[in-house]
Amino acid sequence: MAEQALISADYQPAEDAFDGRVILVTGATGGIGSAVCRRLAAAGATVVILDKDLKALESLYDRIVEDNHPEPAIYPMNLEGATFDNFPEVAQRIREGLGRLDGLLHAAATMGKPAPVELYDMETWYKTLQVNLNAAFMLTQACLPLLRESDRGSIVFTSDASGRNGHKAYGGAYAVSNAGLEGLMRVLAAELAETTSVCVNTLDPGIVATGLRQKDFPFENPLDLTQPQQVAGAFLRLLGPDGRSHHGQALSVEPAPA
């Protein structure tokens, strides 16, 4: 079983920690994805921003460039409808355009719908597992050759407590997909431990005020929740040189002091 531990979000990388590094982020225009992308760019990384919303990608691109950070690379892609051939193409375009890949953050996710398994809608089940689990597997597989070439490659799967405590009723496809990510991480970490320097971990950011959260909990006041920028530091730590001590771990963001 993967080791579970807390990781502080109060992290600032060294000035040159991400200089010349290339990091691919899925779900890049979401709350957490966007916050992490901007922090990575501020730390010197060239970020490949992947998402289905082209307009939002262009807006994120503009914000990073306006802040005088390294120019990001836009990659519009709808993970829900992506086919087997689309994922190797992502890796190939990164290799041709940027020449390297040092980190991969899976931040894309969809909630599906809470319902008993007996009554769960088949189409929703398929779409949720496709975005949250199948796409993460296929993109990771496609990018592994590039990540192996890095001197400190890192893969981070954004997870959730439901994936580690999957006994909760009515969690549906979302809980199952997160449990699958935890299993994928453990298997991949064991396979890579003796053959490469690539580190693989899952990170549960906790309850964060994102658009995904607001969609499923519309009566919640987002101002009462942890903000995306407050957890971004934990992702940067795992993607950078200071995260090398973590491998095969099911990590959670340490709650801020009350």
The per-residue DSSP string of 44-108 comes to TPEEEEEES-HHHHHHHHHHHHHTTPPPPEEEE--TTT--TTHHHHHHHHHHHHHS---EEEE--
The pTM score is: 0.93
CB neighbours (10 Å) of residue 19? 12
Q: What pLDDT, on the 0 to 100 scale, is given for residue 16?
A: 84
Q: What pLDDT, on the 0 to 100 scale, is given for residue 228?
A: 86
Q: What is the pLDDT of residues 156-215, one digit of tens each?
A: 999 988 888 756 788 899 999 999 999 999 999 999 998 889 999 999 998 776 767 666
The count of residues in the chain is: 258
Mark whether 174 is an active-site residue: yes
Q: What pLDDT, on the 0 to 100 scale, is given for residue 1?
A: 43
- What is the full per-residue pLDDT of the chain (258 aa) written as tens digits? 455 689 988 898 988 899 999 999 999 999 999 999 999 999 999 999 999 999 999 999 999 999 999 999 999 999 999 999 999 999 999 999 999 999 999 999 998 888 999 999 999 999 999 999 999 999 999 999 999 999 999 999 999 888 887 567 888 999 999 999 999 999 999 999 988 899 999 999 987 767 676 666 677 777 777 788 999 999 999 999 999 999 999 999 986 554
Taking the C-alpha atoms of residue 138 and residue 92, their distance in angstroms, rounded to an integer, is 14
**List 61, 75, 120, 174, catalytic entry:** 174
Q: What pLDDT, on the 0 to 100 scale, is given for residue 216?
A: 67
C-beta of residue 190 within 8 angstroms of C-beta of residue 201: no
Q: What pLDDT, on the 0 to 100 scale, is given for residue 123?
A: 96
Q: What pLDDT, on the 0 to 100 scale, is given for residue 179?
A: 94
CB neighbours (10 Å) of residue 227? 15
Taking the C-alpha atoms of residue 19 and residue 42, their distance in angstroms, rounded to an integer, is 10
